Copies of this chain bind each other. A is one copy, B any other.
C-alpha cells in the first residue's frame, strides 16, 4: 500500500517505475509532488510536460494532465499548452540532455519570453536512457560511452545559461538536499514567469559505473559533501570552491509574464466590444 502522498498524486497502477535501483529520478519526482501538495494546488489545473529520457518518463506516473513529448521539445509543447490554457500550472520535467542538448534552444527562448512555466531539470550528467553517453553537463575529463578517452567538452553551467537567457527564478538543489528542492519547486511554481530549477541527481547504472563513482549511496554522499549553499559559496576563495558547486536560489527578478502580456493585447480589442 503506497503512502497517502503517492496515492493522491501518482498513477499507482503504473508503479513500480522503470528506473534502476538507486536512480535519483524517483527522489526528484517525489519532491515535485510534495511541493505541489504543499501548495495545495488543484490536480486538474496542473499540467506536467516532459521530453524523452529516463527522467522524462516521470510524467506517465503522475496523476495530472501529462504529456510525454518528443526529445528536447517539452518546453515548446508546454508553451503551446500554457498559451492555450493560461490557467494551468505548467511544469516541465526534463533531463540534462533533453533540456540542454537537443532542447537547448527551447530552453533559452522560453526563458527569454518569461512564460510562466516551471522547469525542473533532472541533471544526472549523462544520457541515461541511451546508455551513458556524455552530455552537455558531463564534467570535462569524465567518461561516457562516447567519450572513452575522457570528455573534452566543457560542461554548461545551466543556471548561468538560464539566467542569461532571461529566466526570472533560477535555483539549484540535489537529491540529497531534498527539502531544499521541495522548497525551490514551490517557489518556482509561485513565480509568475519562467522558473528554472536544476536538480542534481544520479545515474548509478551508467554515469556512476563508467566513472567509478560507486553505488547510489556513494553518489549521494558526493552530492552531500560538495554542495555549498549560495551564501556560503560567495564567501569562499577560488581555491576553496574547487570541486564544489552552489546550491540555493541563485537568481530572482521580475519582468512581465508572456501570457499576461498577450492577454493585454486581447483585452485591448474586447474592451471596445
Report the bound CA distance from A102 to B104 in whole Å: 11
CB-CB contacts below 8 Å: A136-171 with B: 136, 149, 152-157, 160-161, 163-166
Q: Which of B105, B112, B165 contacts A153 (CB 8 A)?
A: B112
- B-facing mask of A75-90, CB < 8 A → 1, else 0? 0000000000000000
Selected interface stretch from A23-31, A183-191, A204-212, A261-269: A261-269
Interface residue? A113 (CB, 8 A):
yes
Q: Is the CB of B154 within 8 A of A262?
A: no
User: 23 A–B contact pairs at CB < 8 A?
Assistant: A103-B105, A104-B105, A104-B108, A104-B109, A105-B105, A108-B156, A108-B161, A112-B136, A112-B153, A113-B154, A149-B265, A152-B256, A152-B261, A152-B262, A153-B258, A154-B255, A156-B165, A156-B166, A157-B164, A161-B165, A163-B164, A164-B164, A164-B165
A256 proximity list for chain B (CB < 8 A): 152
Task: Report copies per complex.
Answer: 2
CB-CB contacts below 8 Å: A39-77 with B: none
Chain B residue nearest in CB terms to A266: B149
Interface residue? A202 (CB, 8 A):
no
A104 proximity list for chain B (CB < 8 A): 104-105, 108-109
A265 proximity list for chain B (CB < 8 A): 149, 152
Which 7 residue pairs of A and B lie closest in terms of their CB atoms, listed nearest first? A164-B164, A105-B105, A152-B261, A104-B105, A160-B164, A161-B164, A149-B265
Pick the most buried of A101, A154, A160, A264: most chain B CB atoms within 10 A of its CB.
Answer: A154
Q: Is the CB of B109 within 8 A of A154?
A: no
Interface residue? A114 (CB, 8 A):
yes
Q: Is the CB of A154 within 8 A of B112?
A: yes
CB-CB contacts below 8 Å: A230-273 with B: 255-256, 258, 261-262, 264-265, 268
A12 nearest CB across to chain B (Å): 37
A258 proximity list for chain B (CB < 8 A): 152-153
A104 nearest CB across to chain B (Å): 4
